[in-house]
Structure 1
Amino acid sequence: MLSTAESAIKYAREKKYPISLHTGLTEKYGDSLADNFQQLINWMNLNFNVIDKKILDAERKMQKAGRFNPIFRNSD
């Protein structure tokens, strides 16, 4: 997904639409083409939210299993 996003950003900067948003993954979220910048942004927001949720879910499972205990430090 990140590779697709990186390529899509490159094409968007060059205004080369439509942009293919095929990731090659079995799970697909959103449209497979972006005909304009707004459609690309919508696809990215959706897919980054999905990734964020998957990471959060994995962290919760690891915490419950006692395999993830991050130490947060104040950077001030």
Structure 2
Amino acid sequence: MRLESEALKEKILALSPDEKAIIAQEVWDSIEHFIDPEVEKAWLNEAEKRWQEIEEGKVETVPVEEALRQARNSIIK
């Protein structure tokens, strides 16, 4: 990362959560057009499929704390 980028990152991280959220949204909006529409559609279809499986009781959700614990344990092994 360039020195200017690193300094900018440090300034952004020092902002309040609300200010960071606004900046994050504006940055995202500025690059959103680079997302391949086909990839975005595929992710949306996958999210809808997973939501339907949850609604139908085909799968069981896991609390985020448990999911993170499992992910960390899989990395450590």
* Higher normalized helix content (fraction of residues): 2
Higher-strand-fraction structure: 1
The higher relative CO (CA closer than 8 Å, separation ≥ 6) is in: 1
TM-score normalised by structure 2 residue count = 0.36
